[in-house]
Structure 1
């Protein structure tokens, strides 16, 4: 089991930033421009944890090199069920250097976009409180 999955399943959002490379890139299912840096991506992951209920990983796949992982999940946003996949790419130190999230169906992605938009001011404040993050906008 990938450590990212283990931390998410434990509900240990504080452990997630320690699994991220300093220059991690997050590719959002709802935003075109990537988010970069451990502080910002860690804050985004905390925001996601606040809006997704009953997140369960249902399948995990890895390439033979162990650098690429696909973690398929189900979750709820209010009454809306979503299915998705976290695609992780790790660096030589085993830290996540890229996290790409895909979500379906479209109605679930819209619900996620709306829920995350409501969180984004708090996400930016959390990232900026780190002292190393720059505003995303």
Structure 2
């Protein structure tokens, strides 16, 4: 039995191709960060955020992919930030056009999330990225 092909976002990330990963995002994508309450909205905003995340994570790798129904995929990952190990989940909801409409990230443990927020926060602020409603 052949394993199903990985989600296009996963395939792009694993290839180290941030532009191909961004191409999988819908123009009106809504990104839910594990560190802030309000979402980031729009492909340009989320693309800028993902570029910063790519620079920040160390030893990023997907370990599992769980296909759901109706275009929902869960991509489980491991990485490090500043020497702190973390585990996370990218929950992708894809529209009928095949583009990611909704992207939620969850990270554990708290120490890993805090390390990510401390490393990424100044970069996000310097880039002028704002969550909707923040």
Give me the CA root mean square deviation: 1.4
Counterpart CA distance in 2 for 1:53 and 1:72 is 15
User: Would you say the 8 A contact 1:27–1:100 is kept in 2?
Assistant: yes
SS at match of 2:46: helix
Counterpart CA distance in 2 for 1:46 and 1:63 is 27
Partner of 2:3: none
Q: Report deviation, 1:122.
A: 4.4
Partner of 2:60: 55
Structure 2: segments with no counterpart, 5+ residues: 1-5
1:99 equivalenced with 2:118 (yes/no): no
For these two proteins, the number of residue pairs brought into alignment is: 127
SS at match of 1:109: helix
Partner of 1:4: 9
Q: Report deviation, 1:121.
A: 3.4
1:121 to 109, 122, 125: 125
Partner of 1:21: 26
Counterpart CA distance in 2 for 1:10 and 1:102 is 22
Counterpart CA distance in 2 for 1:51 and 1:87 is 20
Q: Report deviation, 1:11.
A: 1.1
TM-score, L = length of structure 1: 0.87
